[in-house]
Amino acid sequence: MLEDPTYAVAPFDHAQADIILRSSDNIDFRVFKLFLSLPSPFFEPLFNIPQPPDETVEQEVKDGLPVISVTEDNKTLDALLRFCYPCTLADDPNLEVLNDAKDVLEAARKYSLDVIEKKARKAIVNPKILEVEPLRCFVIAHRGRLREETLLAARYTLTQPLIPSWFQEIELLTATDLLSLLTYHKKCGEAVYALKHDLSWITSHYGSLEACPWVSDQRSQRTSSSCGCLKANPPRYNLAFRLSYSSGSGPQYLPVQWWDNFMEETFTALRDKPCKETVKASAEKTVQTVKAGSCTTCSPKIAEGMRDFLDLFTRKIEETVSQIELELDF
Protein backbone atom coordinates (compact mmCIF):
# COMPACT_ATOMS: atom_id res chain seq x y z
CA MET A 1 0.00 0.00 0.00
CA LEU A 2 1.37 3.41 -1.00
CA GLU A 3 2.19 5.89 1.71
CA ASP A 4 0.55 9.29 1.76
CA PRO A 5 1.98 11.54 -0.96
CA THR A 6 4.86 13.81 -0.01
CA TYR A 7 5.93 17.02 -1.66
CA ALA A 8 8.83 17.24 -4.07
CA VAL A 9 11.89 19.36 -3.40
CA ALA A 10 12.27 22.97 -4.48
CA PRO A 11 11.33 24.55 -6.78
CA PHE A 12 8.40 22.15 -7.03
CA ASP A 13 7.02 22.95 -3.59
CA HIS A 14 6.12 26.58 -4.23
CA ALA A 15 3.29 27.96 -2.11
CA GLN A 16 1.87 29.94 -5.04
CA ALA A 17 1.68 26.99 -7.45
CA ASP A 18 -1.67 26.43 -9.16
CA ILE A 19 -1.69 22.67 -9.81
CA ILE A 20 -0.19 19.46 -8.45
CA LEU A 21 1.31 16.71 -10.60
CA ARG A 22 1.57 13.41 -8.74
CA SER A 23 4.26 10.95 -9.86
CA SER A 24 3.72 7.22 -10.09
CA ASP A 25 5.66 6.73 -6.86
CA ASN A 26 3.44 9.18 -4.96
CA ILE A 27 5.48 12.38 -4.95
CA ASP A 28 3.51 15.62 -5.41
CA PHE A 29 4.96 18.40 -7.53
CA ARG A 30 3.42 21.84 -6.94
CA VAL A 31 3.89 23.53 -10.31
CA PHE A 32 2.72 26.48 -12.38
CA LYS A 33 0.49 25.68 -15.35
CA LEU A 34 2.00 28.49 -17.41
CA PHE A 35 5.53 27.05 -17.30
CA LEU A 36 4.25 23.75 -18.69
CA SER A 37 1.71 25.07 -21.17
CA LEU A 38 4.15 27.36 -22.98
CA PRO A 39 6.61 24.68 -24.20
CA SER A 40 3.97 22.08 -25.01
CA PRO A 41 0.47 22.00 -26.53
CA PHE A 42 -0.22 18.87 -24.47
CA PHE A 43 -0.61 20.38 -21.02
CA GLU A 44 -3.27 23.06 -21.52
CA PRO A 45 -6.10 20.63 -22.34
CA LEU A 46 -4.79 18.32 -19.62
CA PHE A 47 -5.18 21.08 -17.08
CA ASN A 48 -8.71 21.74 -18.26
CA ILE A 49 -10.00 18.19 -17.93
CA PRO A 50 -13.73 18.41 -17.08
CA GLN A 51 -15.19 16.90 -13.97
CA PRO A 52 -15.94 13.15 -14.28
CA PRO A 53 -19.57 12.50 -15.40
CA ASP A 54 -20.12 10.24 -12.42
CA GLU A 55 -21.11 12.60 -9.65
CA THR A 56 -19.84 10.14 -7.06
CA VAL A 57 -16.30 10.54 -8.39
CA GLU A 58 -14.66 13.82 -7.59
CA GLN A 59 -11.49 15.49 -8.87
CA GLU A 60 -8.90 15.08 -6.14
CA VAL A 61 -7.93 18.34 -4.53
CA LYS A 62 -5.04 18.90 -2.14
CA ASP A 63 -4.38 22.17 -0.35
CA GLY A 64 -6.94 23.76 -2.64
CA LEU A 65 -5.15 22.60 -5.83
CA PRO A 66 -6.33 20.00 -8.34
CA VAL A 67 -4.18 16.86 -8.45
CA ILE A 68 -3.30 15.18 -11.75
CA SER A 69 -1.60 11.79 -11.60
CA VAL A 70 0.99 10.91 -14.25
CA THR A 71 2.71 7.63 -15.09
CA GLU A 72 6.29 8.94 -14.73
CA ASP A 73 8.21 8.35 -11.51
CA ASN A 74 9.44 11.29 -9.47
CA LYS A 75 12.99 11.20 -10.89
CA THR A 76 11.78 11.43 -14.48
CA LEU A 77 9.13 14.01 -13.66
CA ASP A 78 11.65 16.13 -11.78
CA ALA A 79 14.02 16.15 -14.79
CA LEU A 80 11.21 16.92 -17.22
CA LEU A 81 9.92 19.82 -15.15
CA ARG A 82 13.38 21.30 -14.68
CA PHE A 83 13.71 21.52 -18.44
CA CYS A 84 10.34 23.28 -18.61
CA TYR A 85 11.02 25.80 -15.86
CA PRO A 86 12.92 29.07 -16.48
CA CYS A 87 16.65 28.77 -15.80
CA THR A 88 16.30 31.38 -13.05
CA LEU A 89 14.18 28.93 -11.08
CA ALA A 90 15.70 25.54 -11.98
CA ASP A 91 18.90 24.40 -13.68
CA ASP A 92 18.64 21.85 -16.48
CA PRO A 93 19.15 18.33 -15.14
CA ASN A 94 22.32 16.39 -15.85
CA LEU A 95 21.41 13.43 -18.06
CA GLU A 96 24.67 11.49 -17.82
CA VAL A 97 22.95 8.27 -16.78
CA LEU A 98 21.50 6.39 -19.74
CA ASN A 99 18.30 5.31 -18.00
CA ASP A 100 17.55 8.94 -17.09
CA ALA A 101 18.02 10.07 -20.70
CA LYS A 102 15.82 7.22 -21.96
CA ASP A 103 13.01 8.00 -19.52
CA VAL A 104 13.10 11.73 -20.25
CA LEU A 105 13.07 11.03 -24.00
CA GLU A 106 9.93 8.90 -23.67
CA ALA A 107 8.23 11.47 -21.44
CA ALA A 108 9.18 14.36 -23.75
CA ARG A 109 7.63 12.57 -26.70
CA LYS A 110 4.52 11.74 -24.71
CA TYR A 111 3.99 15.36 -23.72
CA SER A 112 5.08 16.85 -27.09
CA LEU A 113 8.06 18.65 -25.58
CA ASP A 114 10.15 18.88 -28.75
CA VAL A 115 12.99 20.97 -27.31
CA ILE A 116 13.41 18.57 -24.40
CA GLU A 117 13.30 15.60 -26.77
CA LYS A 118 16.28 17.05 -28.66
CA LYS A 119 18.21 17.43 -25.41
CA ALA A 120 17.44 13.84 -24.43
CA ARG A 121 18.56 12.63 -27.87
CA LYS A 122 21.89 14.41 -27.41
CA ALA A 123 22.25 12.86 -23.98
CA ILE A 124 21.80 9.34 -25.38
CA VAL A 125 24.81 9.83 -27.66
CA ASN A 126 26.90 11.69 -25.12
CA PRO A 127 30.44 10.29 -25.60
CA LYS A 128 30.67 9.69 -21.85
CA ILE A 129 27.74 7.29 -22.13
CA LEU A 130 28.55 5.87 -25.57
CA GLU A 131 32.08 4.89 -24.59
CA VAL A 132 30.83 2.90 -21.60
CA GLU A 133 27.50 1.48 -22.82
CA PRO A 134 27.40 1.58 -26.64
CA LEU A 135 25.16 -1.48 -27.00
CA ARG A 136 22.53 -0.09 -24.64
CA CYS A 137 22.68 3.25 -26.47
CA PHE A 138 22.19 1.43 -29.76
CA VAL A 139 19.12 -0.44 -28.55
CA ILE A 140 17.52 2.63 -26.95
CA ALA A 141 18.20 4.82 -29.98
CA HIS A 142 16.88 2.24 -32.42
CA ARG A 143 13.81 1.53 -30.30
CA GLY A 144 13.18 5.28 -30.27
CA ARG A 145 13.51 5.38 -34.09
CA LEU A 146 16.46 7.77 -33.83
CA ARG A 147 18.32 7.06 -37.04
CA GLU A 148 21.43 9.23 -36.64
CA GLU A 149 21.85 8.30 -33.00
CA THR A 150 21.48 4.59 -33.84
CA LEU A 151 24.15 4.74 -36.54
CA LEU A 152 26.53 6.58 -34.25
CA ALA A 153 25.96 4.09 -31.44
CA ALA A 154 26.59 1.23 -33.88
CA ARG A 155 30.03 2.70 -34.63
CA TYR A 156 30.79 2.77 -30.93
CA THR A 157 29.80 -0.89 -30.54
CA LEU A 158 32.90 -1.72 -32.57
CA THR A 159 34.88 -1.10 -29.38
CA GLN A 160 33.20 -4.20 -27.96
CA PRO A 161 33.84 -7.86 -28.90
CA LEU A 162 31.96 -9.23 -31.91
CA ILE A 163 29.79 -11.46 -29.71
CA PRO A 164 28.33 -9.24 -26.98
CA SER A 165 27.72 -10.31 -23.42
CA TRP A 166 24.31 -9.86 -21.80
CA PHE A 167 23.18 -6.29 -21.21
CA GLN A 168 20.05 -4.78 -19.76
CA GLU A 169 18.11 -3.99 -22.92
CA ILE A 170 19.16 -6.97 -25.03
CA GLU A 171 15.66 -8.43 -24.86
CA LEU A 172 14.38 -5.33 -26.69
CA LEU A 173 16.39 -6.34 -29.76
CA THR A 174 14.72 -8.51 -32.35
CA ALA A 175 16.72 -11.38 -33.80
CA THR A 176 16.80 -9.52 -37.12
CA ASP A 177 18.21 -6.35 -35.55
CA LEU A 178 20.84 -8.27 -33.60
CA LEU A 179 21.87 -10.14 -36.75
CA SER A 180 22.17 -6.83 -38.61
CA LEU A 181 24.41 -5.40 -35.91
CA LEU A 182 26.62 -8.51 -35.77
CA THR A 183 26.89 -8.57 -39.56
CA TYR A 184 27.91 -4.90 -39.57
CA HIS A 185 30.53 -5.60 -36.91
CA LYS A 186 31.91 -8.59 -38.83
CA LYS A 187 32.09 -6.64 -42.10
CA CYS A 188 33.95 -3.81 -40.39
CA GLY A 189 36.41 -6.29 -38.88
CA GLU A 190 37.04 -7.96 -42.22
CA ALA A 191 37.47 -4.63 -44.04
CA VAL A 192 39.98 -3.34 -41.50
CA TYR A 193 41.85 -6.65 -41.40
CA ALA A 194 42.22 -6.51 -45.19
CA LEU A 195 44.41 -3.41 -44.82
CA LYS A 196 47.31 -5.70 -43.87
CA HIS A 197 47.42 -7.12 -47.40
CA ASP A 198 48.05 -3.76 -49.08
CA LEU A 199 50.37 -1.43 -47.18
CA SER A 200 50.37 1.30 -49.81
CA TRP A 201 48.51 3.51 -47.32
CA ILE A 202 51.74 3.48 -45.31
CA THR A 203 54.25 3.91 -48.10
CA SER A 204 52.25 6.67 -49.79
CA HIS A 205 52.13 8.56 -46.50
CA TYR A 206 55.85 8.37 -45.69
CA GLY A 207 57.23 8.30 -49.23
CA SER A 208 60.64 6.98 -48.25
CA LEU A 209 62.49 4.98 -45.65
CA GLU A 210 64.12 8.13 -44.34
CA ALA A 211 60.70 9.43 -43.27
CA CYS A 212 60.13 6.45 -40.97
CA PRO A 213 63.56 5.20 -39.87
CA TRP A 214 62.06 3.92 -36.63
CA VAL A 215 60.32 1.14 -38.60
CA SER A 216 63.42 -0.42 -40.10
CA ASP A 217 67.18 -0.40 -40.20
CA GLN A 218 69.77 -1.49 -42.73
CA ARG A 219 71.57 -4.63 -41.72
CA SER A 220 74.00 -7.20 -42.94
CA GLN A 221 73.82 -9.41 -39.87
CA ARG A 222 70.99 -10.62 -37.62
CA THR A 223 71.34 -7.35 -35.67
CA SER A 224 72.87 -4.18 -37.07
CA SER A 225 75.55 -2.00 -35.55
CA SER A 226 73.17 0.94 -35.20
CA CYS A 227 70.19 -0.86 -33.68
CA GLY A 228 70.15 -3.56 -31.07
CA CYS A 229 66.69 -4.80 -31.97
CA LEU A 230 66.14 -8.05 -33.83
CA LYS A 231 64.87 -7.73 -37.39
CA ALA A 232 61.88 -9.57 -38.79
CA ASN A 233 63.44 -12.15 -41.09
CA PRO A 234 61.42 -12.85 -43.10
CA PRO A 235 59.05 -9.95 -42.40
CA ARG A 236 55.29 -10.41 -42.28
CA TYR A 237 54.76 -6.74 -43.11
CA ASN A 238 57.07 -5.81 -45.92
CA LEU A 239 56.93 -2.18 -46.99
CA ALA A 240 57.62 -1.51 -50.65
CA PHE A 241 59.99 1.45 -50.66
CA ARG A 242 63.58 0.22 -50.42
CA LEU A 243 62.43 -1.80 -47.48
CA SER A 244 61.91 -5.07 -49.24
CA TYR A 245 63.30 -8.31 -47.98
CA SER A 246 65.92 -9.84 -50.19
CA SER A 247 67.40 -13.30 -50.00
CA GLY A 248 70.53 -12.08 -51.78
CA SER A 249 73.87 -11.28 -50.18
CA GLY A 250 73.54 -7.48 -50.46
CA PRO A 251 72.34 -5.09 -47.76
CA GLN A 252 68.85 -5.78 -46.54
CA TYR A 253 66.25 -3.35 -45.26
CA LEU A 254 64.04 -5.20 -42.82
CA PRO A 255 61.42 -4.09 -40.29
CA VAL A 256 62.50 -4.32 -36.69
CA GLN A 257 60.86 -7.28 -34.98
CA TRP A 258 58.88 -5.21 -32.48
CA TRP A 259 57.16 -3.27 -35.29
CA ASP A 260 56.39 -6.48 -37.19
CA ASN A 261 54.95 -7.95 -33.98
CA PHE A 262 52.97 -4.79 -33.31
CA MET A 263 51.35 -4.97 -36.73
CA GLU A 264 50.48 -8.65 -36.42
CA GLU A 265 49.03 -8.35 -32.92
CA THR A 266 47.08 -5.22 -33.84
CA PHE A 267 45.48 -6.66 -36.96
CA THR A 268 44.53 -9.82 -35.07
CA ALA A 269 42.82 -7.72 -32.40
CA LEU A 270 41.13 -5.52 -35.02
CA ARG A 271 39.14 -8.46 -36.39
CA ASP A 272 37.25 -8.56 -33.10
CA LYS A 273 37.30 -4.83 -32.28
CA PRO A 274 37.73 -2.85 -35.51
CA CYS A 275 38.20 0.60 -33.99
CA LYS A 276 40.89 3.15 -33.27
CA GLU A 277 40.88 2.27 -29.57
CA THR A 278 42.28 -1.16 -30.44
CA VAL A 279 45.25 0.40 -32.25
CA LYS A 280 45.86 2.89 -29.45
CA ALA A 281 45.96 0.15 -26.84
CA SER A 282 48.35 -1.93 -28.94
CA ALA A 283 50.58 1.08 -29.64
CA GLU A 284 50.80 1.99 -25.95
CA LYS A 285 51.82 -1.56 -25.12
CA THR A 286 54.50 -1.53 -27.84
CA VAL A 287 55.91 1.82 -26.73
CA GLN A 288 56.27 0.59 -23.17
CA THR A 289 57.90 -2.66 -24.32
CA VAL A 290 60.45 -0.90 -26.53
CA LYS A 291 61.25 1.71 -23.89
CA ALA A 292 61.90 -1.06 -21.41
CA GLY A 293 64.38 -2.64 -23.83
CA SER A 294 68.08 -1.91 -24.18
CA CYS A 295 68.08 -0.47 -27.71
CA THR A 296 69.57 3.03 -27.59
CA THR A 297 68.33 3.72 -31.12
CA CYS A 298 64.65 2.71 -30.90
CA SER A 299 63.90 3.57 -27.29
CA PRO A 300 64.39 7.37 -27.55
CA LYS A 301 62.36 7.74 -30.75
CA ILE A 302 59.63 5.12 -30.32
CA ALA A 303 57.08 7.48 -28.73
CA GLU A 304 57.31 10.13 -31.44
CA GLY A 305 57.45 7.63 -34.29
CA MET A 306 54.51 5.59 -33.04
CA ARG A 307 52.51 8.76 -32.37
CA ASP A 308 52.73 9.71 -36.04
CA PHE A 309 52.04 6.18 -37.23
CA LEU A 310 49.14 5.84 -34.78
CA ASP A 311 47.54 8.93 -36.28
CA LEU A 312 47.87 7.46 -39.78
CA PHE A 313 46.59 4.03 -38.69
CA THR A 314 43.54 5.34 -36.84
CA ARG A 315 42.56 7.65 -39.70
CA LYS A 316 42.75 4.72 -42.11
CA ILE A 317 40.55 2.62 -39.84
CA GLU A 318 37.97 5.41 -39.54
CA GLU A 319 37.98 5.86 -43.31
CA THR A 320 37.53 2.12 -43.90
CA VAL A 321 34.75 1.64 -41.35
CA SER A 322 32.85 4.68 -42.63
CA GLN A 323 32.34 2.85 -45.93
CA ILE A 324 30.52 -0.06 -44.27
CA GLU A 325 26.74 0.30 -44.18
CA LEU A 326 24.57 -0.86 -41.32
CA GLU A 327 21.57 -2.58 -42.92
CA LEU A 328 18.82 -1.81 -40.45
CA ASP A 329 15.18 -0.82 -40.78
CA PHE A 330 13.86 2.23 -38.96
User: Could you report the per-residue pLDDT of 174-197, keeping only the tens digit for each?
Assistant: 999 999 999 999 999 999 999 999
Q: How far apart are CA 89 and CA 91, in angstroms?
A: 7
pTM here is 0.80
Instruction: Render pLDDT for 67-88 as a digit per residue (tens, 0 to 9).
Output: 999 999 999 999 999 999 998 7
Asked whether the predicted pLDDT for residue 219 surpasses 50, the reply is no
Predicted local distance difference test score (pLDDT) of residue 146: 93
Buried b / exposed e over 9-26, threshold 16 CB at 10 Å, is eebbeeeebebbbbbeee
